[in-house]
């Protein structure tokens, strides 16, 4: 018994301490940072004043600013809108492709999956700049549309892969049974394939939706200065205005908002699955 | 007119002739079985009847109408799949309601019919359960209820009992027969198990290498196999190979090397001089102590080589004078006595001239 427990710690211990050290601890540091004053030249002001008149200690100033101006809520709403649109576009584009791969000959599937992830082999920024060349002549650059095109392009594989993994596991005899019992192709899809693929849709959606909120390069390159999302604001706080407490606060608010959306989505999904 | 008619159906997979010129007629209300070893083409034939596959030649008619241009979803034929193929995201009631919803019935009527179907398979309490919460036998019943609920003209069953353990299989066999009588729907049943086919069917088509070897009711199939394949595939049988020496109206005599001449009431149509075999069932062979007077036409001395005790009966494997082995079945009907002979015992084996079937080469 004791040796089994020791083994469990031996296997589970390192990743556990890694997560505590490099994930939980930094998250707590962010909480504290969001409650401090900004330093004169970036960074954080000391907790204890070192000279008279210096702002030191803890304050809820960043949160007061956040909740006193609608502009932040608007940017959050806009970001979630962009993320939702990107997720939806990815889903619509990825589903037929994932289905095609899942129903192809087993010998060809691995090659097709390789082709899906192949774009990752070239540099992210190069691929985004390439879109400037494509969209420029059509006068579509520096618009919300361009941002979403870029986001969909970059995130599509993250939707295709979980969908494919799910669809590939479906037992083809279920479709035979549905057809045998009177379902045409349309109904076979909506009554059997689609509901069974919901777990794949949810994991794909999570893998696209959450990272999109934090992306700043695509809005900056393809969207221009007016199309900021939360990611740009956080980046600007740390690197532009060098207001670390404000940036920390924005990050935390984003985490809270994402958790709220994810919680609501999984609750709704649970209800939908029960009904289906 | 037969309910289902299969006319000269052929299906090729590359160089393989999966179904080779099969013709069959299934009457309304029958429990018809396609029996054969794996790879004999029975499942391919079933898939063509369901509409999942198309014949390369020949036609399949339902109520006299050619089904070639009717897709599976439009055929009044349902299938019980070997793996049950229950929809894992639907409850038992939703699974059973599926064909009714596809047919566009009104919700009130669907609920009523689902309840009736649940009662038919004794699963009233399981309506809200999901398939993964059910046992193998229960899944089997749900699959049956789902296929029967909107009363197809024909129900196809593809080795539906294959995944069940022996005891449950026997229970389900009885239930299947009762269910088929209760609903009056024609069943076409596919199996490789000859005992299952004999127990369930009103008629059986024995298939081998894509062809139908014999179509008959179970008792005729067992007692009058038309060829060596059928004789060997259905039940256990002793084959005594030899040459016809004389054939007349009342039977034939077969010369078997090392045994002399065997007398049989069958084989009257065979010409003298042709090679033939007498096929005798083990339960038709009498076995007694050496020297016992058995008033039967064919009688040989032998020695017990081995025996297979299965409880109710014991099969004795006896070495004949010509070195061949003969199986004789003896019921263990005497109380307190499990077996009558030991390995090495000298015995007499005998069978009447009426026993067995003469099979030409």
CB atoms within 10 A of CB B49: 27
Which CATH number fits the domain that encloses residue B281?
2.40.50.100
Across the interface, do B81 and A177 touch by the CB < 8 Å criterion? yes
> In this predicted structure, what is the pLDDT of residue A100?
94
Residue B241 burial (10 A CB sphere; 0-12, 13-18, 19+): middle
Q: With H, G, I as helix, E, B as strand and everything else as coil, classify residue A36.
A: strand
Asked whether the beta carbons of B140 and B160 are under 8 A apart, the reply is yes
> In this predicted structure, what is the pLDDT of residue B211?
92
Give A 232-271 residues with CB within 8 A of chain B. Answer: none
* B163 interfaces chain A, CB cutoff of 8 Å: no
Q: pLDDT tens, B112-156? A: 999 999 998 888 898 899 999 998 889 999 999 999 999 999 999
Asked whether the beta carbons of A177 and B73 are under 8 A apart, the reply is no
First-last CA distance in chain B: 36
Let me know if residue A15 belongs to a domain: no
Which residues from chain A sit within 8 angstroms of residue B90, using beta carbons? 276
| Residues of chain A with confidence (pLDDT) below 70 | 1, 225, 272-276
First-last CA distance in chain A: 44
Task: State ipTM.
Answer: 0.83
Across the interface, do B81 and A192 touch by the CB < 8 Å criterion? no
> In this predicted structure, what is the pLDDT of residue A119?
84
The residue range of the domain holding B276 is: 236-353
Let me know if residue A64 belongs to a domain: no
Across the interface, do A184 and B73 touch by the CB < 8 Å criterion? yes
Check residue A72 and give left, alpha or beta (phi > 0: left; psi -120 to 50: alpha): alpha
Asked whether the beta carbons of B131 and B95 are under 8 A apart, the reply is yes
* DSSP assigned state of A181: T
Residues B296 and B149 in one domain: no
* A273 interfaces chain B, CB cutoff of 8 Å: yes
| Inter-chain contacts counted by CB atoms under 8 A, chains A and B | 58
> In this predicted structure, what is the pLDDT of residue A227?
72
Separation CA A44–CA A150 (nearest Å)? 35
> In this predicted structure, what is the pLDDT of residue A99?
94
Domains contained in chain A, number: 1
Q: pLDDT tens, B300-350? A: 888 999 988 888 888 999 999 888 899 999 888 776 666 688 888 889 998
Let me know if residue B152 belongs to a domain: yes
> Domain boundary at B213, B232, B251, which?
B232
Separation CA B285–CA B291 (nearest Å)? 16
Residues B250 and B218 in one domain: no
Let me know if residue A55 belongs to a domain: no
What is the widest separation between alpha-carbon atoms in chain B? 77
Residues B301 and B220 in one domain: no
* B113 interfaces chain A, CB cutoff of 8 Å: no
Give B 56-75 residues with CB within 8 A of chain A. Answer: 71-74
Looking only at the bridges linking them, the beta strands covering B286-289 and B77-80 are unpaired
Of B88, B90, B103, the CB nearest to A182: B103
Which residues from chain B sit within 8 angstroms of residue A177, using beta carbons? 79, 81, 85-87
Mean pLDDT computed over B280-302: 86
Q: pLDDT tens, B38-92? A: 889 999 999 999 999 999 999 999 999 999 999 999 999 999 999 999 999 999 9
Across the interface, do A180 and B103 touch by the CB < 8 Å criterion? no
Let me know if residue B360 belongs to a domain: no
Domains contained in chain B, number: 2
Residues B188 and B260 in one domain: no
Q: pLDDT tens, B208-223? A: 999 999 999 999 999 8
Nearest CA in chain A to B50: A180
Which CATH number fits the domain that encloses residue A83?
1.10.3720.10
Looking only at the bridges linking them, the beta strands covering B203-208 and B211-216 are antiparallel
Residue B20 burial (10 A CB sphere; 0-12, 13-18, 19+): middle
> In this predicted structure, what is the pLDDT of residue B337?
66
Of A173, A180, A276, the CB nearest to B83: A173
Residues B214 and B275 in one domain: no
pLDDT reading at B360 higher than 90: no
Asked whether the beta carbons of B164 and B174 are under 8 A apart, the reply is no
Separation CA A54–CA A48 (nearest Å)? 9
> Domain boundary at B199, B232, B265, which?
B232
Let me know if residue A252 belongs to a domain: yes
Model pTM score: 0.81
Considering only CA atoms, which of B87, B92, B26, B57 is closest in space to residue B210?
B57
Residues B295 and B156 in one domain: no
Tokens for A191?
């009554």
Let me know if residue A48 belongs to a domain: no
Let me know if residue B139 belongs to a domain: yes
Q: pLDDT tens, A182-232? A: 999 999 999 999 999 988 998 898 889 888 888 888 888 888 767 778 888
């Amino acid at each position: 018994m004791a040796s089994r427990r020791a083994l469990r710690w031996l296997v589970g211990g390192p990743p556990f301490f890694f997560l505590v050290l490099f994930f939980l601890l930094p998250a707590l540091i962010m909480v504290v940072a969001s409650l401090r004053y900004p330093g004169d030249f970036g960074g954080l002001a000391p907790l204890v004043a070192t000279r008279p008149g210096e702002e030191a200690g803890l304050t809820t100033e960043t949160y007061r600013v956040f909740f006193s101006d609608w502009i932040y809520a608007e940017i959050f709403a806009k970001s979630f809108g962009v993320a939702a649109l990107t997720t939806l576009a990815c889903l619509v584009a990825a589903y037929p492709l994932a289905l095609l791969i899942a129903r192809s000959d087993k010998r060809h599937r691995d090659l097709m999956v390789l082709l899906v992830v192949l774009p990752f082999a070239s540099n992210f920024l190069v691929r985004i700049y390439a879109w400037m060349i494509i969209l420029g002549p059509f006068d579509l650059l520096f618009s919300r549309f361009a941002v979403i095109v870029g986001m969909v392009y970059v995130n599509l594989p993250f939707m295709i892969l979980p969908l494919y993994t799910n669809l590939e596991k479906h037992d083809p005899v279920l479709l035979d049974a549905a057809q045998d019992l009177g379902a045409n192709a349309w109904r076979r899809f909506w009554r059997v394939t689609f509901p069974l693929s919901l777990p794949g849709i949810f994991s794909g959606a999570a893998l696209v939706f959450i990272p999109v909120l934090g992306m700043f390069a695509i809005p900056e390159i393809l969207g221009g200065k007016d199309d900021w999302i939360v990611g740009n604001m956080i980046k600007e706080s740390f690197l532009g205005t060098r207001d670390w407490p404000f940036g920390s606060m924005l990050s935390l608010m984003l985490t809270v908002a994402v958790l709220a959306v994810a919680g609501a989505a999984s609750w709704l999904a649970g209800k939908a699955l029960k009904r289906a | 007119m037969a309910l289902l008619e299969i006319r000269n159906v052929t299906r090729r997979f590359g160089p393989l002739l999966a179904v080779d010129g099969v013709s069959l007629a299934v009457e309304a209300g029958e429990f018809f079985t396609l029996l054969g070893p794996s790879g004999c083409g029975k499942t391919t034939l079933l898939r063509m009847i369901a509409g999942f596959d198309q014949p390369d030649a020949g036609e399949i008619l339902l109520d006299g109408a050619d089904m070639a241009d009717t897709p599976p979803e439009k055929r009044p034929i349902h299938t019980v799949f070997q793996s049950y193929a229950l929809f894992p995201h639907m409850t038992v009631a939703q699974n059973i309601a599926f064909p009714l919803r596809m047919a566009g019935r009104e919700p009130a009527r669907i609920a009523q019919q689902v309840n009736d179907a649940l009662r038919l398979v004794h699963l009233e309490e399981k309506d809200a359960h999901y398939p993964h919460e059910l046992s193998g036998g229960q899944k089997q019943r749900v699959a049956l209820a789902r296929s029967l609920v909107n009363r197809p003209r024909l129900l196809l069953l593809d080795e539906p009992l294959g995944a069940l353990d022996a005891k449950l299989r026997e229970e389900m066999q009885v239930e299947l027969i009762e269910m088929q009588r209760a609903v009056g729907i024609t069943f076409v049943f596919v199996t490789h198990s000859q005992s299952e086919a004999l127990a369930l069917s009103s008629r059986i088509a024995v298939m081998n290498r894509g062809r139908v070897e014999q179509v008959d009711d179970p008792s005729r199939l067992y007692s009058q196999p038309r060829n060596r394949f059928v004789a060997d595939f259905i039940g256990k049988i002793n084959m005594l190979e030899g040459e016809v020496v004389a054939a007349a109206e009342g039977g034939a005599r077969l010369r078997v090397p090392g045994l002399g001449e065997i007398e049989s009431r069958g084989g009257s149509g065979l010409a003298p001089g042709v090679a033939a075999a007498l096929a005798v069932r083990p339960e038709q062979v009498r076995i007694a102590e050496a020297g016992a007077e058995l008033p039967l036409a064919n009688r040989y001395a032998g020695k017990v080589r081995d025996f297979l005790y299965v409880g109710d009966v014991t099969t004795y494997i006896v070495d004949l004078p010509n070195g061949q082995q003969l199986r004789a079945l003896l019921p263990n009907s005497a109380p307190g006595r499990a077996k009558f002979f030991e390995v090495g015992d000298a015995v007499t084996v005998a069978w009447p001239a009426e026993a067995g079937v003469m099979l030409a080469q």
